[in-house]
Structure 1
């Protein structure tokens, strides 16, 4: 340990020793609402004390070159990943070393087909730099934490305690990053194990991040009446992703109401306007089935608009299946863009 780090550690321990408030014991149960990720089970006896999951977010992982050789807090060439993100923070049983915990995770991952991209097991390999590059403050944002602290295991610091949240350190730190195939998908996984807060806790902690690439959810922005009118004027059509249907179904879901209201508002503001309502699908399924599905959805939208006071004679429903894609059907993101309803000028 460098003189600076030794001094910082001494100051931290001195502050903890002088603190007088009563501290909580270490958590004994998982934080509410949390669960192990299906591809990685916990080290036996560990408690899942920190948890967050976002349906779609962005994270940065190191690539095969690891950490920067010139900067202390940077990955050399960070890889930006997008998709479903799960973050987990485990507190290991008292007395279990970070090495034992890390090796067990390594073995479990190898058995599951994990392919490492980069890793480190000591300061010479970049583990201290990896600790700072992780930036625990940023990684901890939005995480839910169990109630409890990290009490000293005994000795001269008995009665002292340290905060639990994101208590990874560079002490006995080890890290592995790579990919894992599951259910036809390639998941990206980062795992970091170290002492919890300091050696006096006699505990190891493990931080895990798993990114499951997936298409960003679409249809979350309603096109208002003004924008619909501008789109019709400029291009003669406008795609409306705020209309929702269950897979393989033609019924318009209730959360489409806002978009339907805006479509009706435009038609009421321009009483001479006549439009086609055109349903589109992706290329999954047979053509005939997709033709029927796309037309059924268009008719359902027309019915919803007539219920909002629009004369049926101003509306025509058509379905064109997957004959007019706006993106490649080779990816889920492209297929999501192709599944749409358009309003087209007659």
Structure 2
């Protein structure tokens, strides 16, 4: 008898569990391997439907509306800023019934609490006539046909010599081809692009003064990857200081040595433009060593070879990053 009661009880529990499972709301899972960017919390209940990372890229941050596109259908902004570094792209769907206004306000509060500075913010038509082209490179048309309820924000956070730049776009889905993405008309959707500057430092560690000496003795030259410039610019970035400190220390340890400071670029852009850029970057390094560290100008010869001496193919962002460097060569 007790055995029968136990069996009936187990059946009842199983039936209740099955009924509860059927009645429970189903939440879409994140795509495999996806995860939130550390420090930026997703809207409650959202799912990551598109996820992509790149070790290094150049990214155009909007500082004004997108009213036109170029020959490659890339948006042309009234004002913009270049950010370079590791890219994380996250596309979220928000549970149905929540407006893009609510989602966008939530993200604004989250970013403000984390110390981000807003660079540009616009809503609806103020984002520009060609806002459909801003996020058309994620593999779907998820964000291409929903301008009315749209909100765009770009912001930055700088700390300890590193910068995190973001582009945030929130709207309500209206139409478009969305393969492998389940989304309903009127459902709020979020695109979050995050660019981390200086991430190459993780892979290409700043060499010490002693390592510079050993490299010159063994190879006759040494590449420095801890010297940073903005895209197509020749002004040294503040995070270059640790590498410059080591170069200055090396020159102090060997006061008779004279060196060539040689700038190298990837092949993005024209050859002559890159030749000029590489020389200007080498000159900026020499100027910093002379003015900030007191190295005699006669010991330093700035030169530039642009894209003419690559150490890797120029067919990926990661390899192009290896070609962008400054080398030291004894005179």
TM-score by length of structure 1 reads 0.49
Aligned to 2:301: none
Within 2, Cα distance between the matches of 1:200 and 1:276? 63
* CA displacement 1:15-41 (0-9 Å, x = unmatched): xxxxxxxxxxx9711112222112421
Gaps of 5+ in 2: 1-25, 176-182, 212-216, 225-242, 262-281, 290-320
Structure 2 vs 1, CA of residues 103 and 109 (structure 1 numbering), >3 Å: closer, same or farther? same
CA positional deviation for 1:176: 0.9
Is 2:28 aligned against 1:28?
A: yes
Is 2:185 aligned against 1:201?
A: yes
Within 2, Cα distance between the matches of 1:191 and 1:70? 20
* CA displacement 1:195-224 (0-9 Å, x = unmatched): 12359534200111122223878x9xxxxx
Structure 2 vs 1, CA of residues 122 and 32 (structure 1 numbering), >3 Å: closer, same or farther? same
SS where residue 53 of structure 2 aligns? strand
CA positional deviation for 1:171: 3.3
Q: Judge conservation of contact 2:260–2:328 (CA < 8 Å) in 1.
A: no
Structure 2 vs 1, CA of residues 201 and 323 (structure 1 numbering), >3 Å: closer, same or farther? farther
CA positional deviation for 1:245: 8.7
Is 2:100 aligned against 1:98?
A: yes
Q: Judge conservation of contact 2:155–2:166 (CA < 8 Å) in 1.
A: yes
Q: Judge conservation of contact 1:116–1:177 (CA < 8 Å) in 2.
A: yes
SS where residue 87 of structure 1 aligns? strand
Q: Judge conservation of contact 1:39–1:182 (CA < 8 Å) in 2.
A: no
Aligned to 1:213: 197
Aligned to 2:38: 38
Aligned to 1:169: 146
SS where residue 106 of structure 2 aligns? helix
Q: Judge conservation of contact 1:57–1:84 (CA < 8 Å) in 2.
A: yes
Q: Judge conservation of contact 2:67–2:128 (CA < 8 Å) in 1.
A: no
Aligned to 1:140: 138
Within 2, Cα distance between the matches of 1:37 and 1:70? 29
Q: Judge conservation of contact 1:40–1:109 (CA < 8 Å) in 2.
A: yes
- Residue correspondence of structure 1 range 261-300 to structure 2 within 5 A: 277-278=219-220, 280=222, 282-284=243-245
Instruction: Give the aligned length.
Output: 218
Is 2:58 aligned against 1:51?
A: no
* CA displacement 1:41-96 (0-9 Å, x = unmatched): 11111111111111111122222x43449999642133333222221111111211
Q: Is the radius of gyration larger for structure 1 or structure 2?
A: 1
Q: Judge conservation of contact 1:192–1:207 (CA < 8 Å) in 2.
A: yes
Aligned to 2:272: none
Aligned to 1:119: 121
Structure 2 vs 1, CA of residues 38 and 341 (structure 1 numbering), >3 Å: closer, same or farther? same
CA positional deviation for 1:249: 12
SS where residue 102 of structure 1 aligns? helix
Q: Judge conservation of contact 1:66–1:118 (CA < 8 Å) in 2.
A: no
Aligned to 2:167: 190
Q: Judge conservation of contact 2:162–2:198 (CA < 8 Å) in 1.
A: no
SS where residue 169 of structure 1 aligns? coil
Root-mean-square deviation over aligned CA pairs: 4.7
